[in-house]
Amino acid sequence: MSNENNLIDAEEKKKDKKPFLKGWKNFIDGIQSGVEKFQKSLEDQSKKNKESWEKNKEKVSKFFKDNKQQWDQKLKELNNDMEKRTIETKEQWEAHTKKITQEIESWQDKTKEEFIDGVGLLRKVFMKAYIWILLLSIPILIIIITVFAVILKFI
């Protein structure tokens, strides 16, 4: 009879251990699936950032290409004007050089503003990506720290 009681007690202890192990396994599986989801979201965000980088890269190259064409066109116009005005008087020449200087300065200011806007846009895109990474990693870190705290209490 005592052997039967011992066997029943041993079986109950095994059953008590199994729910804990089962729960622990489910917990670990949950963490793994969470990590996989987090990794997938990071990969998706990286793809989006890469696509926006490519779009911005195209915009920047288009910007420089357009400005080079504008500059070349402006130079051709200025060369034609200079050839025509070689005959004009000194006063007319000075007025024309002031006009050219103002045009070049205004073009430089416009170009500088456009470049700063483009860099600002890139900066915003990268800041948004960094914020997403932080927002997605904080919950995972909290879970991991909690798990370690619970495990350390039991050890």
Burial 102-130 (b: 16+ CB within 10 A, else e): eeeeeeeeeeeeeeeeeeeeeeebeeebe
Sign of the four-CA dihedral 145, 147, 153, 155: negative
Domain hosting 146: range is 2-154
Q: Residue 46: what pLDDT?
A: 80
Question: Quick check: 136 and 41 in contact, CB under 8 A?
Answer: yes
Q: What percent of the chain has pLDDT over 70?
A: 85
pTM of the model as a whole: 0.31
Band of pLDDT at residue 83, cut at 50, 70 and 90: confident
Total domains in the chain come to 1
